[in-house]
Amino acid sequence: MAKKTIAVVGATGAQGGGLVRAILGDPSDEYAVRALTRDAHSEKAKALAALGAEIVAANVDDAASLGRAFQGAHGAFCVTFFWDHFSPEKEQAQARAMAQAAKDAGVKHAIWSTLEDTRLRVPLSDSRMPTLMGQYKVPHFDAKGESNRFFTELGVPATLLNTSFYWDNLIHFGMGPKKGPDGTLAFTLPMGDKKLPGIAAEDIGRCAYGIFKRYAELVGKTVGIAGEHLTGAQMAAELARALGQPVAYNAVPPEVYRGFGFPGAEDLGNMFQYKAEFETEYCGARDLAFSRSLNPKLQTFAQWLAANKDRIPLG
Ligand SMILES: NC(=O)c1ccc[n+]([C@@H]2O[C@H](COP(=O)([O-])OP(=O)(O)OC[C@H]3O[C@@H](n4cnc5c(N)ncnc54)[C@H](OP(=O)(O)O)[C@@H]3O)[C@@H](O)[C@H]2O)c1
């Protein structure tokens, strides 16, 4: 039987890369990978080719290239890149282009990597957190949630996948513990005693592969994934164990976090406040047993730390 091809947007990145490696690492050989990249000659693209992926040049800003890349594919993994440009409108345009390309190519199953539209629970008139960019509470969430409709309205057979906070942000996003004036490490999170669903970025792609394999059951559904739901205090305790030194939990209020001044601080301050204030709903939408059923290799925070602790910059 011919292999089913999965076209993967963001194949050289975190989510898409995890999916590419999951498919190529599956001994069942039922699926083939088409890795989309803007630069087919980059080192990352060559590394994926060496693993057995078909490499196709495509840019989500270029509808024609996207159309060619999705042609003949059974499945399409669709993800956007908010932190490359900080533009919710650009993110929506890219989501719309991917939904249209999936529709036009007749893919049997798309996965849209999305997040909640927080305005459904915190309307713009709600002053508990500031409105950002004129029409958003959490721009990088709201733009994705609002884009869900591009897939549903076009009738794309899709699974809407609500992802979780990457633990890898401790390495790449400056969110790791920092040394205070007394030299003690502190892990800052504006979530009080509420739980933050987190996941190893690599596991998002592995879960996505599990969704593709359960096509009949999960097409047309909205699902959520996480590796663990942990409070800031629990994360600090795990960090202390892994690093072999004390790590305090620094639970700042969201308004303090919003004022940290780094690009995206307000967006992230609102995001953490939303996750804290809607802890039950937000964690409830990311069931751990379901996530593990998609991906039996799903890592806990402790397992992720054991493999990655030396990569966390301790500023
Ligand atoms: N950080 C978190 O905790 C978190 C949690 C949940 C969701 N998210 C969301 O995850 C998304 C990013 O996904 P990611 O972390 O997998 O991204 P990533 O690791 O930054 O990788 C993105 C890849 O996509 C490709 N790319 C960028 N712009 C492109 C374009 N215009 N057309 C085609 N390909 C393009 C790049 O590959 P080439 O250079 O090879 O083209 C890049 O390697 C964001 O929207 C973010 O909001 C993040």
Q: pLDDT tens, 37-63?
A: 999 999 999 999 999 999 999 999 999
Encode burial over 30-57: b for 16+ CB neighbours within 10 A, e otherwise: ebbbbbbbeeeeeeebeebeeeebebbe
282: left (phi over 0), alpha (psi -120 to 50) or beta: alpha
Q: What does the radius of gyration of the chain's CA atoms come to, in whole angstroms? A: 19
57 pocket-lining for ligand 1 (C-beta < 6 Å): no
pLDDT of residue 235: 98
Query: Separation of 312 CA from ligand 1 center, angstroms?
Result: 20
For residue 180, give every residue at least 6 positions away whose Cβ sits within 8 Å of its Cβ, in sequence order, or none: 186, 248
Query: Which residues does residue 54 pair with via DSSP β-bridges, in sequence order?
Result: 34
Supply the mean pLDDT for the chain: 98
pLDDT of residue 1: 76
pLDDT of residue 226: 99
Query: Separation of 14 CA from ligand 1 center, angstroms?
Result: 7
42 pocket-lining for ligand 1 (C-beta < 6 Å): yes
172 pocket-lining for ligand 1 (C-beta < 6 Å): no
Mean pLDDT of all residues in 225-253: 98
pLDDT single digits (tens) 16-45? 999 999 999 999 989 999 999 999 999 999
pLDDT of residue 127: 98
C-alpha to C-alpha distances, 315 to 23, 231, 305, 312, nearest whole angstrom: 36, 22, 17, 9
**Per the structure block, which two tokens stand in for 27?**
């001994």
39 pocket-lining for ligand 1 (C-beta < 6 Å): yes
pLDDT single digits (tens) 89-125? 999 999 999 999 999 999 999 999 999 999 999 999 9
User: What three-state secondary structure class fits 28?
Assistant: coil
65 pocket-lining for ligand 1 (C-beta < 6 Å): no
Query: Separation of 245 CA from ligand 1 center, angstroms?
Result: 33
Mean pLDDT of all residues in 128-149: 98
CA-45 nearest atom, ligand 1: 40
Query: Separation of 86 CA from ligand 1 center, angstroms?
Result: 12
pLDDT of residue 7: 99
77 pocket-lining for ligand 1 (C-beta < 6 Å): no
pLDDT of residue 14: 98
Q: Does the pLDDT of residue 315 top 80, yes or no? A: no
Q: How far is CA 204 from the centre of its chain?
A: 7
pLDDT of residue 103: 98
Query: Separation of 79 CA from ligand 1 center, angstroms?
Result: 7
Which residue among 79, 81, 163 is best mutated to probe the pocket of ligand 1, counting the most ligand atoms within 8 A of its Cβ?
81
pLDDT single digits (tens) 186-198? 999 999 999 999 9
What is the model's pTM? 0.98
pLDDT of residue 201: 98
pLDDT single digits (tens) 166-209? 999 999 999 999 998 899 999 999 999 999 999 999 999 999 99
pLDDT of residue 124: 98
pLDDT of residue 134: 97
10 pocket-lining for ligand 1 (C-beta < 6 Å): yes
User: Which tops the pLDDT comparison, 2 or 144?
Assistant: 144
Say how many C-beta atoms besides its own lie within 10 A of residue 300's C-beta: 16
Q: What percent of the chain has pLDDT over 70?
A: 100
Q: Does the pLDDT of residue 84 top 80, yes or no? A: yes
Query: Separation of 10 CA from ligand 1 center, angstroms?
Result: 6
pLDDT single digits (tens) 267-284? 999 999 999 999 999 999
